[in-house]
Structures are given as C-alpha cells and as structure tokens.
Structure 1
Amino acid sequence: MTTGTRPLEGLRVIELGQLLAGPFTGTILAYFGAEVIKVEPPAGDPIRGWRVVQDGTSLWYRSLGRNKKSVTLDLRSERGRELVLQLLDTADVLVENFRPGAMEDWGLGPEVVKARNPRLVYARISGYGQTGPYANKPGYASVTEGFGGFRYINGEPGQAPVRPNISLGDTVAALHAALGITLALLQRGKTEDGAGQVVDVA
C-alpha cells in the first residue's frame, strides 16, 4: 500500500485552453497531487461532446477532466480576464494551449502575468512554438503528425497513411509540457528569488 503525499501536492495549476494537449497536461499534474483549476468558456470545453457521449458528457472529457476543479469564465470579456488574473495571482503553474498571440491579445501574456506573480511557471503548448515562420499555422495533431513524418511511416505500403486511434501529437506534447513544468518547478526551488519561467512546447 502506498502512503504519504503525492509529489505535487500543495501546488496550484490554472489550466486554460481546451481539447487535448493543455487539458492532458493538467490531468498528468493532477495525477500527482496538484490542485488543477480548469477554466472553461461559457459553452464548455468542446471535448465534452466528442465521440462517445454518456449522460450528456463524452468519455474523453470524463478522462481528461477527472481530478480537477472547473470554473466557467469568458476570456473575451474584461471581467473574465480580471478573474483569471486573480486566479493566477495565487497559482504556481499556468497551462495554456491557445494559438500563439491569443493570450497577449487578451492581456494575459507572460510579461503581464509574471509581473504580478514572478514565481509562476507559464507553460505554452502550440503546433510550432510561439515564434518562427510556422508559429501562426494551425497546430492540430493530425497536421503536425503529417508534417513530422509520423503518418508517413504508419499503415500499409501503397495505401494512405493510417491515423492512430489517439491524438499522438497532442499527448506527446502534453507529456513534454508536464516534464518541462516539473523541471521548471525544480529549478524555481533552487534559485534565490524563486522565479518561475516560461515553458514553450511545440
């Protein structure tokens, strides 16, 4: 029998974004004890309605939403952004997977948020990173799996590539984000000022 506390207990994570990569990152952190507060838009995370739905909620959401608290805020409204900033004032980690530039457009970019809470680890997940020639291209897992060559090596010779029954691009990105966040938290504990950093996962 395992006893004692889990390694991330006492840490607060604010999860912004939707669908897979950001929410799966939050799920991983919650597994190990972090308090994860998921911020959903008024219509809810779209994954609530994906694929098999039971009692009005998809099985995917039941998997990705477990072990989390959930609040509804409209980041397109001034009041919603004010409330998110208040949540971030008491957080250790922010996870976001919006298109590059969206958080800055809302006044929630790293410079703004970390000026209020320098200890925050600010984790960003996107298709091609926050900068560079492909930053603004769609970052869906299916696109990045093809771009990276993963689709090419799957399936039968002479036939169309096969999509695996999992969004591999999203889940691999989430694993790297969770690792980056954990390393940033460890580094934060070793610095004199206890400052967090930005984790950028493509």
Structure 2
Amino acid sequence: MGKPTAINNVETLCNVPTIIEKGGDWYSKIGSPNAPGTKLFCISGHVNKPGVYEIPMELTLRELIDNYGGGVKGKFKAVLPGGVSSSLLTDLDVKLDYKSVAEAGSMLGSASVIVINGDSSIVDVTKNSMEFFVHESCGQCTPCREGTRTANAIIGRFANGEGREEELEILLELGDVMYDTSRCGLGQAAMNITTSAIKMFRDEFMQRVKN
C-alpha cells in the first residue's frame, strides 16, 4: 500500500534482537546477496533425519538433504521445496533462496521441504495433496471450492486405475483457471503439485488410464 507495514511473523521477529545487537551489515553477510540471513527449513518425507534446521539461504537442496536431512531414504525421485503448495522439482542443485527456486519453476514458500523417493507413486502423492486442499478450502470462492473437489475426483479415478487420458488436459486447464480466479493463495497454488506432476511424470498417470 506504499506505507510501512508491520510483519508479525515469528521467524522475522526472532531475527530482530540479533540484528539490533550486531547490526544489519553483519546479518547481510550471512547467506547470499539475493537472500541475506538464515531461514528455518522443515525437511520431511523420505529422509533419514527429518526436522527443522536453521541454515543460510545459500545452500542447495542437495546440501540440505545430505548434510542436514541425513540423505534420502532410497532413490531420490522428486522434492517439494515449499510444501504441497509448490511445484515438484527434480534438480537438487537449486539454491534455496526465493529467486533461485522461482527460476527453477517452483516456490520456496514456508520452506517446508518434502522429499519423495522412487518407491512412491506420484499419482498417489498428488491425490493425498489434493485431499488436503479439499479439506482446507474455506469454500468462499467457487474456483477453489469446486476446483479442488473436481480435481480430487479426477485424480482419484487415476489412483484407482480408472483415469482417462483426456482428463489430464482438463486438470491442466483447471490449474490455469484456479490460479487466475481464486480469491486467495490457497486456491491459486492448490494445483501446482498436480500440474507439475502431470508435466514431469505423465507416464505414471498414463499407467493408471482405464483400458
């Protein structure tokens, strides 16, 4: 709005005393020029040491997973760098700052990193995520309320081996509509995992097409 704004975010407020004590120049030397300072990363999924780690915003996904998460359990398949609202990535050498993750085609969001291994079905992961969005939608706007339900029903058919190939295009189109017309960030981001899953792992969906 062009005016000073108070950001009452716990993570932000926790940084304030140290910055006051040691100065902004000291803080800006941590991390990268694109994203100075540290961030709390919650890493979960198929890793050996899930947890919350405070690290400089200059490390890569690979360094976070290997050096802090204890490595992947099994063979790496994909990762959600910003929770289920973000798009899937397969490149582990992406730096963990907002700009780099966005340029890679996803978003860092709250830095809730979810690692997926090769034993997991992307279709099932997508179905589980969409069930979350159906539950979390407040129902106030039609695109999100009806869009999440429709997407969940379609993905459910694929999960049960009864999907139709043309429904993949419907899901991609639905993702565009929800992004453009939903009233809040939840609806706008709800289809990110689905659309990225179809684009990157279309073969897994095709294996669930009804013959």
Please classify the TM superposition score into its range, dividing by the shorter chain length.
Answer: under 0.3
Larger C-alpha radius of gyration, 1 or 2?
2
TM superposition score normalised by structure 1: 0.25
TM superposition score normalised by structure 2: 0.25
